[in-house]
Amino acid sequence: MSKYTIAGLVSWLFSALILLFQSISSLMGTEETMVFKNLSLVSVIGQGHFDWINGLSWVNVQKAASYIVTMPLFLLLFCIGIFFFLLHMFLSKH
């Protein structure tokens, strides 16, 4: 296995673990507070680290960066895993 395949599998593993723990935490609440709370990069790291996104001059790049940092973390890790698998596929020497 190449390093890209391992990175993709690790990314998928962390994605599944985050989704599992978020599901368990939503089930642990009472019936009134049973809400699935999505984790994102902004909620984990903090909004202050992403203030530079509002200063981007290109609107489409600003929207894309804002979308990436606010999307659910398990989905972001899943997409990163797909990226590593595709990278391995294109860079393999077969």
Residue boundaries of the structural domains of the chain:
3-91
Q: In degrees rounded to 5, what are phi and psi of residue 89?
A: -65, -40
Q: Which amino acid is at 46?
A: G
With a CB cutoff of 8 Å and minimum separation 6, the contacts of 68 are: 41, 76
Q: What is the pLDDT of residues 46-68, one digit of tens each?
A: 888 888 888 888 899 999 999 99
pTM of this prediction exceeds 0.75: yes
CA angle, residues 8, 70, 59, in degrees to nearest 5: 105
CA distance 86 to 91: 9
Q: Whole-number mean pLDDT of the chain?
A: 88
Specify the higher pLDDT residue, 78 or 32: 78
21 DSSP assignment: H
Q: Are the CB atoms for 93 and 21 separated by under 8 Å?
A: no
